């Protein structure tokens, strides 16, 4: 695959979190989490990395550590809505590639950011790209909290689901996994800027409401999503106090 060129990383950061209050500001190894995410993203080939924040405290933390950030509305229903506002504020060209790096992924691999950007740049037939890796444990395949994706011969997403897909009709009573292995979706996305600005205006898909998976909206409206296959699962994200303790331990041991 070609090396990604000239893309922007946007990092949505929302202060409110029901399971981990003030999550973007959580201290990890002496840095606020959102700052650590931005510094990891800056190691990619992105021409710029910008935090899209909903609170002045996030903006202040970014300014203190030299991280570019801009203010966005506090009432956005999703991260993609926040990114669409940031995309418009930055005046990005329609064909520019924007990578959405979640603000709770302090262990994100810069190489994965590059790969997802390059995937979209190489696929002019697609409006988005994302990533996936092979599932190794049957328990993960059956877990509704683990999102799965099925792709076609060109590596384009056919469907995302919390259900165990593809359904192994003749093997569900056993303990094995289908072959080839099913794919776990990794929640990193690249968009063409024009589509990112348009995405929040699209009506939600019935499948999106059922599965609570926003990416199904793009498929419902006929857009294509290229899927980069990575050999390894990414490091853990942070959604709960337990996640935070685990990531702190991993970074402290590094």
Residue 65 lies inside a defined structural domain of this protein: yes
Q: How high is the pLDDT of residue 253?
A: 59
Q: How high is the pLDDT of residue 78?
A: 83
Residue 1 lies inside a defined structural domain of this protein: no
Residue 194 lies inside a defined structural domain of this protein: yes
Residues 6+ apart with CB under 8 A from 221: 202, 205
Q: How high is the pLDDT of residue 171?
A: 77
User: What's the rounded Cα separation, in Å, for the pair 188 and 191?
Assistant: 10
Tell me the helix, strand and coil percentages in the chain, rounded to 5.
35, 20, 45
Q: How high is the pLDDT of residue 254?
A: 54
**Which of 19-23, 102-106, 110-114 comes out lowest in average pLDDT?**
19-23
Residue 2 lies inside a defined structural domain of this protein: no
Question: 3-state class of 214 per DSSP?
Answer: coil
Q: What is the CATH number of the domain that holds 42?
A: 3.90.550.10
Domain range for 191 is 7-253
User: For the chain, what is the domain count?
Assistant: 1
53-76 per-position pLDDT tens digit: 999 999 999 999 999 999 999 888
User: What's the rounded Cα separation, in Å, for the pair 84 and 164?
Assistant: 31
Residue 171 lies inside a defined structural domain of this protein: yes
Structure tokens given for 148: 């799965």
Contact between 209 and 162 under an 8 Å Cβ cutoff? The reply is no
Task: Report the predicted TM-score, pTM, of the whole model to 2 decimal places.
Answer: 0.93
Contact between 150 and 157 under an 8 Å Cβ cutoff? The reply is yes
Residue 77 lies inside a defined structural domain of this protein: yes
């Amino acid at each position: 695959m070609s090396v990604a060129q000239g893309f922007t990383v946007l990092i949505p950061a929302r202060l409110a979190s029901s399971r981990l209050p003030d999550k973007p500001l959580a201290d990890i190894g002496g840095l606020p989490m959102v700052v650590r995410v931005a510094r990891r993203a800056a190691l990619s080939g992105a021409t710029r990395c910008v935090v899209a924040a909903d609170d002045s405290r996030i903006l202040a933390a970014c300014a203190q550590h030299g991280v570019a950030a801009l203010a966005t509305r506090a009432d956005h229903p999703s991260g993609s809505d926040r990114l669409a506002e940031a995309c418009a504020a930055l005046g990005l060209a329609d064909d520019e590639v924007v990578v959405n790096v979640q603000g709770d992924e302090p262990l994100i691999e810069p190489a994965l950011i590059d790969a997802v950007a390059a995937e979209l740049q190489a696929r002019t037939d697609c409006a988005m790209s994302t990533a996936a890796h092979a599932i190794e444990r049957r328990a993960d395949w059956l877990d509704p909290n683990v999102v799965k994706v099925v792709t076609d011969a060109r590596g384009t997403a056919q469907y995302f689901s919390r259900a165990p897909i593809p359904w192994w009709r003749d093997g569900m009573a056993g303990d094995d996994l289908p072959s080839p292995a099913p794919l776990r979706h990794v929640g990193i996305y690249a968009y063409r800027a024009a589509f990112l600005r348009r995405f929040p205006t699209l009506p939600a898909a019935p499948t999106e409401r059922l599965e609570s998976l926003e990416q199904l909206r793009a498929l419902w409206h006929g857009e294509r999503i290229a899927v980069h296959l990575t050999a390894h699962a990414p490091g853990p994200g942070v959604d709960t106090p337990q996640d935070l303790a685990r990531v702190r331990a991993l970074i402290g041991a590094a």
